[in-house]
Amino acid sequence: MAKQYDFLFRLLMLGDSGVGKTCMLRRFTESEFDPSHISTIGVDFKMKTLEIDGVKVRVQIWDTAGQERYQTITKQYYRRAQGIIFVYDITNEPSFLHIAKWISDVEEYASDKVQRILVGNKSDEEPMRRVTKTEGSKLAGRYGMDFFETSASSSSNICESFTHVTELVLQDHKRDVDNLLGSLDDYLDKVTLEEEKGRQDNEENSQKTCAC
Ligand SMILES: Nc1nc2c(ncn2[C@@H]2O[C@H](COP(=O)(O)OP(=O)(O)OP(=O)(O)O)[C@@H](O)[C@H]2O)c(=O)[nH]1
């Protein structure tokens, strides 16, 4: 059967328990919002296909448990992620302060090339806000990440944030392919030049032989 997509990328969601990772993922993949909080056990994943600039990208999004007790399990998923979404809750300051810890874990366990974005979720809860947009944006800037405020409840910026991290992974992948093709071109040019030089040397040698 023909493949239904051009690329398959793995994304990972990280952040404290209760910040809304599962709700964001359900909103993105199933357009649903469930206000109950059932803590994720270990890890879970959902798939979705996106079309970016005519390229079909299938994303496998891993939703990790925020609870400390599952971290030995969840850390095993860091290495294979190509994109990471760090999530905090704008109504919960500790979840924002813990982002530095999540980032340091990723720096320790994930690939150096992993693409990352920062998300402040629950932007619909404005009266309960404890972390300003400027604080979120500054933290993201400090780590060289793009920043979004989302709401799984109202759906604000959900599609934009998942699509953006996928675009970053796709761009990085294309850069790798271009570099590989560039090296292949250089190699083929070198081989052609050497063959050309070999032919010329042979011709010169045979002319010399004839003259004798
Ligand atoms: N108001 C509001 N509530 C939200 C939003 N997203 C999630 N919630 C609520 O926050 C609670 C926790 O959401 P979950 O998605 O289960 O949180 P989680 O980060 O996956 O938690 P763990 O699985 O324990 O790591 C639930 O009661 C949700 O209804 C949002 O955008 N706005």
| Domains, in order of start, for the chain | 7-174 (3.40.50.300)
pLDDT computed for residue 184 by the predictor: 78
ipTM (interface predicted TM): 0.99
DSSP 52: E
C-alpha count within 13 angstroms, C-beta hemisphere, residue 65:
15
- Is 106's C-beta closer than 6 angstroms to any atom of ligand 1? no
Per-residue pLDDT reduced to its tens digit, 119-147: 999 999 999 999 999 999 999 999 999 99
- The bridge status of strand 7-14 relative to strand 83-89 is parallel
Q: How many angstroms separate the alpha carbon of residue 113 from the centre of ligand 1?
A: 29
154 alpha carbon to ligand 1 midpoint, in Å?
Answer: 13
Query: CA-to-CA distance for 83 and 13, rounded, in angstroms?
Result: 9
For the chain, what is the mean pLDDT?
92
d(CA 11, CA 80): 9
Q: What is the pLDDT of residue 186?
A: 79
At 1, the pLDDT band (50, 70, 90 cuts) reads low
pLDDT value at position 198?
A: 84
Q: What percent of the chain has pLDDT over 90?
A: 75
Q: Please provide residue 16's backbone torsions phi and psi, each rounded to the nearest 5 degrees.
A: -60, 160
> What is the pLDDT confidence band of residue 208, given thresholds at 50, 70 and 90?
low
Residue 3 in this model has a pLDDT that exceeds 90: no
What does the alpha-carbon distance between residue 125 and residue 17 come to, in Å, rounded to a whole number? 17
Of 16, 21, 23, the one to substitute when testing ligand 1's pocket (max ligand atoms within 8 A of C-beta) is 23
Reported as a single tens digit per residue, the pLDDT across 42-98 is: 999 999 999 999 999 999 999 999 998 998 998 999 999 999 999 999 999 999 999
Minimum-distance ligand 1 atom for the alpha carbon of 64: 25
Name which residue sits closest to atom 15 of ligand 1, judged by CA. 20
DSSP code, position 81: -
Q: What is the pLDDT of residue 175?
A: 85
At residue 47, φ and ψ (nearest 5 deg) are -115, 155
Q: How many contiguous H segments (helices) and E segments (strands) does the chain have? A: 6, 6
Centre of ligand 1 to C-alpha 111, Å, is 28
d(CA 26, CA 8): 19
pLDDT > 80? residue 112: yes
According to DSSP, the residues that pair with 8 across neighbouring strands are 58
